[in-house]
Structure 1
Amino acid sequence: MTSYRQIRADYDRDTIVVYQAYNDAIANAALAAGRFTAPFSFQRMTWIKPSYLWLMERSGWGTKSNQTRILAVRIARSGWDAALRQAVLTSYHSGIHRSQDEWRQLCQQAIVHVQWDPERSLRGKKLEHRSIQVGVGRHLITEFAETWTREIVDLTPLTAKLRQFRQQGDYDKAKRLLPRESIYPVDQATADQLGIET
């Protein structure tokens, strides 16, 4: 049985893949430069997601306005881990926070936010376990774009192929093409802070 809150991701010894959806202008500039650059906004929080299927739900499988280009962003695990250590949950949890006031204060000051949303199946069904989203605040965005990022890959063609298989009801073919994700390890302090089951 899958644990309720765990990070599942495509990762290796040094890097982890997160997914984002953008419009053509942002995606083309990022792919050409190998990192995020204008017109990408460095002035607001950017949300990164290690679950491909959750991003598919969010972007309508690459069909929603300004979310038609699906990017796989390979970033340094050192940056990802540092972000998690600085993160505060977007909602109050009595087992984690001493009081709602404490949580509210932490949330207002946080430069990284974390929220847990229902993971999705290939068919789009809400699953019982959760998927992590990490909001990188504007104080860290330049570091994310220029220091953490190792590679940006355009998954728009793959997404189009998967979307077609889903429309045809050919879920077995689609499943074979999905990015592989496995449980990502975190230290105990981070797990306690973010409600991750270890």
Structure 2
Amino acid sequence: MTPKIRLGIVEDKLSLVKNLELYFAASEHVQLVFTEDRLEPLAHLCTTLTPDIVLMDVDLGAFTGMDGLLSIRQTHPSVKVLMFTVIDDEATLFEAIANGADGYILKDTPLEQLEHSIIETYKGGSVISPLLTSRLLHVFRQNSMAQNALTILTPRENDILKHLVKGYSYKQVATALGISLGTVRSHIENIYSKLGVNSKAEAVAKFLNGSR
């Protein structure tokens, strides 16, 4: 039997936490290992309960989910972080991605879709709510660095990059473009080399920082 994805939730709205607890208690794919409404215990929880993914509220009152994201990136870099918020503006989305978030999901996302997003994130995808994806792509098309990338990269590399920005996993890119997973990885290595980055997060962050 495939092990369940271990999920931690950082959220201070009790009614929402209860709904999430009830939903994931019945999930075949996700095991909820902790819920927390503060950032202080987060490093300890990640160490002792070893979540694969943390669903991170962006607004936690005195602190922000960005603080939690940065903390996890510093202390537990292998843990994936999926930002969870009612805030749908581009600036917050860009800051989250630039700081290494693995995805950005709005709180009005249906629970089944949220579970799917958690699964896709675990598999290596970078899930962003559709409304925000369209905004991100618009800025990407307008950004001069993105235009330079179109010149530097080959047509196939551009195709792959566009799919990565949409949040596709390597496997999904391979399926969409009808090529092998090994070929995708080879192209991605070339993309990172040409753009002078080491990961998708760095590539997105570099372009976002250049757009400000």
TM range (shorter): under 0.3
TM-score norm. by structure 1 comes to: 0.27
TM-score, normalised via structure 2 length? 0.26
